[in-house]
């Protein structure tokens, strides 16, 4: 299975040890942490442990989780992360997530990388359904999810443990048979 994905402007490659410092910097940013349900890493060692787990999982024959570093194609500059967590095999579903450095917001990179991950899920993994969720105040993510053709299917109250407190969540999904944008 090809795990090195490319778009018109981006490379999406399985995370590697060379990404650790960039991932630590990304996840330490206030802008990134605002809507992140994971704990902000206090040390680079915490990030290293997380990345090492991602690397091991990415290499498994029957991986249940894929985590990619997103780099600008021509500059090889790290701009963020995107991932896919598979559900139960019988259901042929997965959940996607992404985090981009705020300097690269509103440039179409999140939409471009998410479209590529959807291609990977539907074409390579033969998934039936791909889901995503985001805090209702996360206007940027709402926009990205809708731009790629995902439909809002749910509004779940006080689901997400954010730094600011419990947040409502919008649940989105797209099916392999849905029209993509």
- Summarised one tens digit per residue, pLDDT across range 37-50 is 988 999 999 999 99
Q: Please classify residue 174 by burial: count the beta carbons closer than 10 Å to its beta carbon, then call 0-12 exposed, 13-18 middle and 19+ buried.
A: buried
Q: What is the mean pLDDT of residues 6-22?
A: 98
| DSSP code at position 121 | I
**Domain boundaries, given as residue ranges, for the chain:** 5-127
- Report pLDDT digits (tens) over 114-136: 999 999 999 999 999 999 999 99
CA-CA distance, 35 to 32, in Å (whole number)? 7
Are the beta carbons of 144 and 174 closer than 8 angstroms? Answer: no
Would you state the CATH architecture of domain 5-127?
3-Layer(aba) Sandwich (3.40)
Whether residue 5 is predicted with pLDDT greater than 90 in this model: the reply is yes
pLDDT attached to residue 1 = 81
* pTM for this entry: 0.96
Binning the chain into helix, strand and coil, the percentages to the nearest 5 are 35, 35, 30
**Radius of gyration of the chain from Cα atoms?**
16
pLDDT digits (tens, 9 = 90+) for 74-106: 998 999 999 999 999 999 999 999 999 999 999
Q: Which of 27, 8, 2, 144 is nearest to 72 (CA)?
A: 8
């Amino acid at each position: 299975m090809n795990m090195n994905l490319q778009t018109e402007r981006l490379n999406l490659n399985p995370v590697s040890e060379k990404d650790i410092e960039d991932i630590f910097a990304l996840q330490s940013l206030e802008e990134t942490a605002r809507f992140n349900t994971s704990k902000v890493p206090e040390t680079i060692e915490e990030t290293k442990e997380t990345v090492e787990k991602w690397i091991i999982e990415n290499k498994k024959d029957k991986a249940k989780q894929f985590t990619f570093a997103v780099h600008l194609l021509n500059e090889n500059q790290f701009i963020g992360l995107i991932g896919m967590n598979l559900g139960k095999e019988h259901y042929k579903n997965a959940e996607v997530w992404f985090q981009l450095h705020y300097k690269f917001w509103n440039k179409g990179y999140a939409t471009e990388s998410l479209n590529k991950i959807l291609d990977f899920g539907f074409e390579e993994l033969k998934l039936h359904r791909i889901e995503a969720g985001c805090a209702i105040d996360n206007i940027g993510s709402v926009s990205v999810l809708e731009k790629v053709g995902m439909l809002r299917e749910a509004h779940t109250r006080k689901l997400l443990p954010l730094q600011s407190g419990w947040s409502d969540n919008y649940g989105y999904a797209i099916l392999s048979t849905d029209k993509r944008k």
